[in-house]
Structure 1
Amino acid sequence: MHGTVDGFSYGIVTPVVAFLMACLGGALGLRCTARSLRTERSFKAGWLALGATSIGSGIWTMHFIAMMGFTVRQEVLSYDRGITFASLGLAIVMVGIGIFIVGYRGATPMALVTGGTITGLGVASMHYLGMAGIRLHGQFEYNTLTVSLSVVIAVVAATAALWAAVSVNGFLASLGASVVMGLAVSGMHYTGMAALSVHLHEGAGPSAGESPATVLAPMLIGPVAFLVLAGVVVMFDPLVVMGRPDWEKRPPRPAPVPRHLPSFPEPTAWSARHQPGEGSSSPHDW
């Protein structure tokens, strides 16, 4: 028996909030990646780790906020907490590998393609592992072609976002890159959900249980709190927000000359040759 799937139980609310969380995580992570390229080598790993954790947390938060609106009409869903949090760790690790490649190799075509591919695969892997953590009296079935399309969307968009993050400076560029990253995650998620069909076991029926929002909300507290703290760190570093601080963009102004000091004419060549010194006579020597 096929289950009736509804991915928008709360209307447009969950897709919009999920997209904004993906943009937030992407903005923080990509700006930290850009910051790592302009910092000393001893701090590079710290910025890259913060960026990877921000993007991974944003991806994971986006997915499960969107999943709050996912229901199967004939079944009450539950979530395996171990697999659910394992998908968060997987996202952070795979995104971290991609970001560290770009952070240490720079914006070379090979580094961007490799890093973007691994980052995109991390987005897709997190999605499908998170879906594997759903418990119901039945099983999920996927359309292979649509799943492949979702993976391609994630890889292409993640590569484009990494390129924008490390190649273009400024607030607007970073904002555009974060939107691209948000579109990558959201587009991959809903394309993957479009590939899904639910096959319920015979005799299965709705059972008592909590709603997906009630189950997932407590698990989202930690990653959301981390994104807020990462946002505070980014706000206090001008290189992360603007690319370069304002005092580096303006040429240094010459020091003003005090008006109360008298000005003297420049010495002429004759006066320079006749200054008192060694081997010369002065009025006091007469």
Structure 2
Amino acid sequence: MAQISHFEYGWITPALSYALSVLGSVLGLVCAGRIRTASSTGQRIWWGSLSAWALGGTAIWAMHFMAMLGFAVSGTRIRYDVPITIASTVIAVVAVGIGLAIVGTGRLTAPRLLVGGLFTGAGVAAMHYTGMAAMRLNGTFGYDTLRVVLSVVIAVVAATVALWLAMTVRRPLAIAGSALLMGVAVNGMHFTGMSALSVHLHPRTGVVSGAGVSTLLTPIVLAVIFVVVGLVYALLAAPTDEDRAAAAYLDSRYAAAEQTPAPPEPIDPVGLRGRSTLGQPGTPFPSRRNPPPR
């Protein structure tokens, strides 16, 4: 059995992985908060998709890969299968998106929350072990069943709590505290699953195929930066509650102005019996000698 190190570069990889999970959780919670306040189905889909990318893509998957940078096995090099790695990303985002769709439509109830958490947690666990299956090294993997089950349970519980927070938390301080808690849960699930792994090296040596960490690191970092910048821009560009209130106030003022009746026409200076001829050519100005016509 080969010797495994989960912290090859010391504290830097777990610290970065935790920071990514907290950052993604903050953005995901803020985007999820817009789902229930959205005024149309299209807006709910938009904010749900952004939240799924933030939570699934950044808080979970990017955190997973960053933590994997510190994973090393003595006696062999580690490579990654690119298609399987991409598939793990899709699994994470889709699982979180479906979970948000389950709890974000209709009234939030305990059965709906449990179903969404179960589905999302299973998807997060599937993402983790799919990402593990993408590793290529000169050996075979083994897993401790009890720790694998424990990691799945942690994933389901963490996903259920995350969905509940996404639908209920609104204030900035509460969002920050929830994101810190979610970061602990996501990292706890990851390292619990990693502790279940064992590697048996092959007696023969050979070339390990696949992409190296340095090859994948640059596009992943750029993708995370673009996603974060895009999410921040979407949040800043979206109208706030104050903007919507101001727009509603202006609409009400415009509607009231349109419904206001026109001012009455001036009264005929000669009375209401007939049409006035005042001011017409040839008509004398009324006086004692020239009384107005009757």
* Pairing 1:175-186 to 2, within 5 Å after superposition: 175-186=176-187
Q: Which amino acid aligns with 1:232?
A: Y
How far, CA to CA, are the matches of 2:101 and 2:143 in structure 1? 32
How far, CA to CA, are the matches of 1:101 and 1:131 in structure 2? 28
Q: Which amino acid aligns with 1:108?
A: T
Query: Residue in 2 aligned with 1:13?
Result: 12
Structure 2 unaligned blocks of 5 or more:
250-294
Query: Residue in 2 aligned with 1:268?
Result: none
* Pairing 1:158-237 to 2, within 5 Å after superposition: 158-204=159-205, 213-220=213-220, 221-237=222-238
Deviations 1:16-40 (A, max 9, x none): 1111111111221222122110111
Q: Is the 8 A contact 1:84 1:130 kept in 2?
A: yes
Q: Is the 8 A contact 2:81 2:210 kept in 1?
A: no
Query: Residue in 2 aligned with 1:30?
Result: 29
Q: Which amino acid aligns with 1:55?
A: L
Superposed displacement of residue 3, structure 1: 1.2
Which one is further off, 210-219 or 31-40?
Answer: 210-219
Q: Which amino acid aligns with 1:30?
A: L
* Pairing 1:247-262 to 2, within 5 Å after superposition: none
* Pairing 1:1-286 to 2, within 5 Å after superposition: 2-42=1-41, 43-58=43-58, 59-204=60-205, 213-220=213-220, 221-237=222-238, 239=240, 245=242
Superposed displacement of residue 79, structure 1: 0.5
| Structure number, greater radius of gyration | 2
Q: Is the 8 A contact 2:82 2:211 kept in 1?
A: no
The TM-score, its normalising length taken from structure 2, stands at 0.76
Identity of aligned residues (%): 43
- Report the CA distance shift for 1:235/1:13 in structure 2 as closer, same or farther (over 3 A): farther
Superposed displacement of residue 247, structure 1: 9.1
How many aligned residue pairs are there? 243
Q: Which amino acid aligns with 1:109?
A: A
Structure 1 unaligned blocks of 5 or more:
253-286
Secondary structure at the counterpart of residue 141 of structure 1: strand
RMSD: 2.3
Deviations 1:159-181 (A, max 9, x none): 11221221232111212222222
